Amino acid sequence: MFFRLLSVAVLAASLASAQGGGRGGGPGGGDNVGQGPPLSSRPGGPSQTRMDRITAMLTLVPDQSKQVKSILDDGQKEAAPVRDQLVAAQLGIAEAVQGGKSQDEIGKAIDAYAALDTQMTTIELRSLAKINQVLRPDQQAKLGGLFWMMRGIFKNKYWNDTSGR
């Protein structure tokens, strides 16, 4: 328990300092350009993958990179059906509104969407928690950047596309 407390304390303290530097990610889709290390330290520029950015941000060693990638690949698989349902649910809301459906029907469509949205959020944050487990305390201190990066990470077909977004 002591070690757990210590590691979270370090995480908390360094979250603050890392983010205070202003290069943490943003809630803008969880994948804005400000999430990784300074631009000058980003090898490869725009062709950098998201995994490259996570590796640099958390200073992962190869074995940790492999584990993180595996966690995110699993998250993507879990998220895939939810993602498709979210697209359909959003369209369902729009069609209900545009089609002049009753408030009750629109409300049901919105509730369905909200449930899926929560499911997706939970998948994202569970992946974050799993990644936290493979980090050293000094790396956990940088988890704040990844917290922002996780939002919407599974919104596309593959989280680790070459755009690095």
Partner 1 sequence: MLSRILLIGMVIATMAFAQRGRRSEDPSAPMPAQRDNSLDQFAGKLKLNKEQRAQAETIIDAAREAAGPVQQKLLEVRRYLAAALITGQSSEADKLTKTYTSLSAQAKTLEANAFGKICALLKPNQQSKAAQHFGLIAQAVEQGQMGGPPGGSQPGQWSGGQGGRR
Q: Can you tell me which of 46, 97, 158, 161 binds partner 1, judged by CB under 8 A?
A: 97
> Among residues 65 and 90, whose Cβ is nearest to partner 1?
90
Min dist CB 127 to partner 1, Å, is 9
In angstroms, rounded to a whole number, what is the distance separating the alpha carbons of residues 1 and 154? 33
The answer to whether residue 8 forms part of the interface with partner 1 (CB under 8 A) is yes
Residue 140 makes CB contacts below 8 A (sequence gap 6+) with: 7, 8, 10, 11, 14, 132
Distance CA 115, CA 122 (A): 11
d(C-alpha 45, C-alpha 39), whole Å: 8
Residue among 71, 73, 59 nearest 159 (CA): 73
Q: Binding to partner 1 by residue 51, rule CB under 8 A?
A: no
Q: How far is CA 2 from CA 8, 56, 75, 83, in A?
A: 10, 29, 30, 39
Find the shortest distance in angstroms from Cβ 42 to partner 1: 14
Residue choice 21, 44, 46, 81 for contact with partner 1 (CB under 8 A) = 21
Of 45-53, 56-64, 66-74, 143-151, the segment contacting partner 1 by CB under 8 A is: 143-151
Count residues contacting partner 1 (CB under 8 A)? 64
- Residues in contact with 54: Cβ distance below 8 Å, sequence separation at least 6, in sequence order: 36, 60, 68, 146, 149
Among 52, 54, 71, 144, binds partner 1 (CB under 8 A): 144
Interaction between residue 67 and partner 1 (CB under 8 A): no
User: How far is Cα 33 from Cα 28, in angstroms, rounded to an integer?
Assistant: 10
Binding residues vs partner 1 (CB under 8 A): 1, 4-5, 8-9, 11-13, 15-16, 18-35, 83, 86-87, 89-91, 93-95, 97-98, 106-107, 110-111, 113-115, 117-118, 120-122, 125-126, 128-129, 132, 144, 147-148, 151-152, 155-156, 165
